[in-house]
Amino acid sequence: MADAQRDAAIQQIREDVAALHGELVRYGLIVWTGGNVSGRVPGADLFVIKPSGVSYDDLRPDNMILCDLDGNVVPGTPGSERAPSSDTAAHAYVYRNMPHVGGVVHTHSTYAVAWAARGEEIPCVITAMADEFGGPIPIGPFAIIGDDSIGRGIVETLTGHRSRAVLMQNHGPFTIGVDAKDAVKAAVMVEDVARTVHVARQAGPLIPIPQEAIDSLFDRYQNVYGQSGDARR
Distance of CA 233 to the CA centre of its chain: 17
Distance CA(122)–CA(135), nearest Å, equals 9
- Identify the active-site residue in 87, 93, 111, 131: 131
41 compared with 224, residue with greater pLDDT: 41
Beta strands in 1-138 (DSSP E): 36-40, 46-49, 65-68, 103-106
Q: Which pLDDT does position 226 carry in this prediction?
A: 66
Q: Which pTM value belongs to this model?
A: 0.94
Domain residue spans in the chain? 3-223
Mean pLDDT of the chain: 95
Distance CA(91)–CA(105), nearest Å, equals 8
Give buried/exposed letters for 42-80 (b at 16+ CB in 10 A, else e).
eebebbbbbbeebebeebebebbbbbebebebeeebbbe
pLDDT, tens digit, for every residue of 47-106? Answer: 999 999 999 999 999 999 999 999 999 999 999 999 999 999 999 999 999 999 999 999
Q: Which pLDDT does position 105 carry in this prediction?
A: 98
Q: Does domain 3-223 correspond to CATH entry 3.40.225.10?
A: yes
- Identify the active-site residue in 56, 68, 179, 225: 225
DSSP lists the bridge partners of residue 65 as 49
- Annotated catalytic, 27? no
Q: Which pLDDT does position 231 carry in this prediction?
A: 47
pLDDT, tens digit, for every residue of 182-210? Answer: 999 999 999 999 999 999 999 999 999 99
